Amino acid sequence: MKYTSVFDIIGPVMIGPSSSHTAGAARIGRVARDLFGRLPKWAKIHLYGSFAETYKGHGTDVAIIGGLLDYETYDERIKTAFQDAKNAGLEFEFIPETDHTEHPNTARIVIGDDETEMSIVGISIGGGTIEITELNGFPLRLSGGMPAILVVHNDRAGCIANVAKCLAEYDINIGHMEVSRKERGNMALMVIEIDQNIDQSIMEEIELLPNITKVTRIKK
């Protein structure tokens, strides 16, 4: 893996005893919040491997809830995240799993409210660095370390070119991009990491392109 900062190696400024189990967990929760677009009403958090074994002692549980509340890794409020979530109307449940996963620090976060439901899988790979490996059943690779947009679209020719052209018109450079689909000709997902945050107006312009159904952004 390529490191872009010394803080990728020694870890971020954070609350908690472990960059992998605390800072990484908080970042997974915060990316889930960004992708959902608002505070969910409920969360079911499935923990695997080392996360499942040590989540209470290492603060993985409060860190994930803190992330869902949009707290940064260094936010002192992570310590009171459970009570803060209760005050905000967020109900949550932790479910330690015994199934084998490829990475020992894995969480599947299922969140929702009266309107919609969303599921992501995130792994904490050390030093507070994370990867999101699945979104609503779509395989992907999202670091959470760069601004990004996620574009749900019909699997049709020209969709990728239209989105790339729109970004280029605003001089927005693509750092990493990948596309996944569940089956040919059905629904597909673009994951585009970019060099800067984009305005809501650009998001809306992309969403008006042919065969685009939803656009979500992760800001940094």
Task: Provide the CATH number for the domain around residue 204.
Answer: 3.30.70.260
Residue 117 shares a structural domain with residue 164: no
Residue-level pLDDT at 126: 78
The H or E element spanning position 115 is none
Residue 189 shares a structural domain with residue 113: no
The residues, any chain, with a CB within 8 Å of residue 183's CB and separated by 6 or more, are: none
Residue-level pLDDT at 12: 45
Q: Which residues of 5-104 form beta strands (DSSP E)?
A: 42-49, 91-96
Write down the pTM of the prediction. 0.80
Residue 123 shares a structural domain with residue 153: no
48: which 2 tokens? 């695997």
The DSSP secondary structure of 147-200, one letter per residue, reads -EEEEEEES-TTHHHHHHHHHHHTTPPEEEEEEEESSTTSEEEEEEEESS---H
Residue-level pLDDT at 9: 35
Q: Rounded to whole angstroms, how far apart are CA atoms 180 and 109? A: 20
Residue-level pLDDT at 132: 93
Residue-level pLDDT at 103: 80
Instruction: Tell me whether residue 2 is in a domain.
Output: no
Are 120 and 135 spatial neighbours (Cβ–Cβ below 8 Å)? yes
Number of domains composing the chain = 2
Residue 59 shares a structural domain with residue 131: yes
Residue 74 shares a structural domain with residue 131: yes
118: which 2 tokens? 């969303």
Residue 70 shares a structural domain with residue 162: no
45: which 2 tokens? 């958090």
Instruction: Tell me whether residue 119 is in a domain.
Output: yes
Residue 153 shares a structural domain with residue 138: no
Domain extent, residue 170, equals 148-218
Residue 111 shares a structural domain with residue 181: no
Residue-level pLDDT at 215: 93
The residues, any chain, with a CB within 8 Å of residue 161's CB and separated by 6 or more, are: none
- 108, 142, 176 — which closes off a domain? 142
Q: Give the count of beta carbons closer than 10 Å to the beta carbon of residue 37.
A: 11
Instruction: Tell me whether residue 40 is in a domain.
Output: yes
Residue-level pLDDT at 18: 56
What's the CATH code of the domain at 30? Answer: 3.30.1330.90
At 135 the three-state DSSP class reads strand
Residue 178 shares a structural domain with residue 94: no
- 142, 158, 178 — which closes off a domain? 142
Which regions in the chain score pLDDT beneath 50? 1-17
- 87, 120, 142 — which closes off a domain? 142
Residue-level pLDDT at 44: 98
Residue-level pLDDT at 142: 86
Residue 106 shares a structural domain with residue 188: no
Q: Rounded to whole angstroms, how far apart are CA atoms 149 and 63? A: 24
Residue-level pLDDT at 5: 42
> pLDDT tens, 184-211?
888 899 999 999 999 999 999 999 999 9
The b/e string for 55-81 (b: 16+ C-beta within 10 A; e otherwise) is beebbbbbbbbbbbbebbbebeebbeb
Q: Which residues of 58-173 form beta strands (DSSP E)?
A: 91-96, 105-112, 117-126, 129-135, 138-142, 148-154
Residue 76 shares a structural domain with residue 49: yes
